[in-house]
Amino acid sequence: MPKAGLTELNAVVAVSRHKSFRKAAAELGMSPSALSHAIATLEARMGVRLFNRTTRSVSLSEAGQRFLSRVQPALREISEAMESVNELRDSPTGTLRFNTSEGAAQQILTPILLEFLERYPSMRVEVVTDGKLVDIVAGGYDAGFRLSDAVPQDMVRVPCGPPQRFVVVGAPAYFRRHPKPTTPHELTEHDCVRYRFGSGAYYHWEFEKRGQALSVEVTGRLSLDNANLMREVALQGRGLAYVTEWAVKADLAAGRLVRVLEDWTPPFPGLCLYYPSHRLVPAGLRAFIGVVREVAAKSKRGG
């Protein structure tokens, strides 16, 4: 029987991880039809079905599970062998895949990602934004960017910038019609733009003052799952929004938005790069970490 190539083996791993031919194809830089053909060719060559497919789901068959249990460690060994050679190059090469939130991606794009690509022209970067925290190992990512408090404890954290804070903001027009709240409890009397998680649950606005923590289930007629849209609603004077200070910094400076309850929103640890502690750190990611630390140090100095 002809031997399977690395493309076919990596295709099996990617499809098993994503449980989707479309998502696996995007990771591998292939078309879904080419990926499906590679899997079908391998299955025909082996004489077994590796995946159970329906119109709605993809899952490993018993043969696929056995095959993957042997193939995955071997592919990891091959990847590490190739990476050991990559370390001898003057400049690293390859692709880094990051998972992050949309807001974090906006913050790191110019100071970190573009600087990295400028310094290392042989490297490529893929960024996937996701509203929810995902398992970066299961998702096939090299690392992720999130607020430090949201990162799992078993990950290595590399701070990316200064502390951040959430702010409650509204437009001057809104406050001409409504009194400014002086305590978080008064928010229940206002039209607040609520944040809705993918699970359907609503985020409770969190506050703290002199060690007293509060979680307020605000009321409002509009619910969104995107901070940029929440900012836009606030700018239109249609309600209060609870967003990061970074997202509305220019609006506050220009007077388009007004901050309230400032003494109830203390700063907290900001963004960090995180990656698995148990994995070999490839040369490209090590170079990226160097850029992250350099940018973070520059930010701390205020330069």
What value does the mean pLDDT take over residues 72-82?
Answer: 71
In the predicted structure, residue 89 carries a pLDDT above the cut 60: no
**107 SS3 class:** helix
Give the CA distances from residue 138 to residues 19, 262, 303, in Å, rounded to whole numbers and listed in that order: 11, 39, 38
Q: Give pLDDT tens digits for 183-207.
A: 999 999 999 999 988 778 899 999 9
- DSSP conformational letter for 72: H
Written as six digits, the tokens of 134 are 């995902």
pLDDT band at residue 1 under the 50/70/90 scheme: very low
Q: What is the pLDDT of residue 90?
A: 56
> What is the percent of the chain where pLDDT is above 70?
92
257 contacts 170 by C-beta, under 8 angstroms: yes
pLDDT at 303: 53
d(CA 83, CA 94): 9
More reliable by pLDDT, 167 or 103? 167
Report the mean per-residue pLDDT for the chain. Answer: 87
pLDDT of 128 above 60: yes
The arithmetic mean of pLDDT across residues 70-93, rounded, is 68
pLDDT at 6: 77
DSSP 3: P
- The residue with greater pLDDT, 118 or 300, is 118
3-state DSSP assignment of residue 231: helix
Domains present along the chain, CATH in parentheses = 6-86 (1.10.10.10), 94-163+269-301 (3.40.190.10), 166-264 (3.40.190.290)
Interaxial angle between packed helices 32-46 and 6-18, expressed in degrees from 0 to 180 and rounded to the nearest 10: 110
Length of the chain, in residues: 303
pTM of the model: 0.67
Which pLDDT value is given to residue 200? 82
Give the integer Cα–Cα distance in Å for 182 and 45: 71
Tokens 């060559």 -> residue: 45
| SS3 state of residue 133 | coil
Backbone angles phi, psi at 182, to 5 degrees: -105, -15
